[in-house]
Amino acid sequence: MAIARKIDKALSETGVEYEIIAHERTESASRTAQASHVCGNQVTKTVILHDGERYVAGVVPSTHRVELDTLGQFLNRRLTLATEAETARLFDDCALGADPPLGMPYGLPVVIDEALFDEDDVYFEGGDHQSLVHVSSEAFAALMRDARRARFSHHM
């Protein structure tokens, strides 16, 4: 599988420079970082949450754990994790569990943990379990221009 159609379109429309890094099939962001020989702080992990009515994507470094209460307070909402079925429906052109951080193409608001902007480079799932999209932090900021920023995770 190649990167998801909606991700490819978003990257093209934004005009940011990026590269695709192929890696062995993995099932978690931290394993993806290992397989790609990339620092885990630079690889995003996308967690889909909801309040019973609306969804939101929380994006953190793969080495971090989302603090649901902190994010919920920031958004003034009580959040719980979305189910796999809900996530599959939201990311309809992606493999299950390969959720990209780009919410715009999927109609999802996004909150990014500030820790991701401490890095020079950012890597994220392209919609499958065998490729990472690599961008500079400036390009990532451009891609995520509509996302909100907050501190809502801690290192595991």
* pLDDT single digits (tens) 8-47: 999 999 999 999 998 888 888 888 888 888 999 999 999 9
Going from N- to C-terminal start, the domains of the chain cover: 5-155
pLDDT band at residue 141, thresholds of 50, 70 and 90? very high
pLDDT digits (tens, 9 = 90+) for 73-114: 999 999 999 999 999 999 999 999 999 999 999 999 999 999
pLDDT of residue 154: 94
Cβ neighbours of residue 125 closer than 8 Å, sequence gap 6 or more: 29, 32, 44, 46, 94, 98, 99, 100, 101, 131, 132, 133
pLDDT digits (tens, 9 = 90+) for 45-64: 999 999 999 999 999 999 99
Q: Name which CATH class applies to 5-155.
A: alpha beta
Nearest to 146, CA basis, from 89, 108, 114 = 108
pLDDT band at residue 2, thresholds of 50, 70 and 90? confident
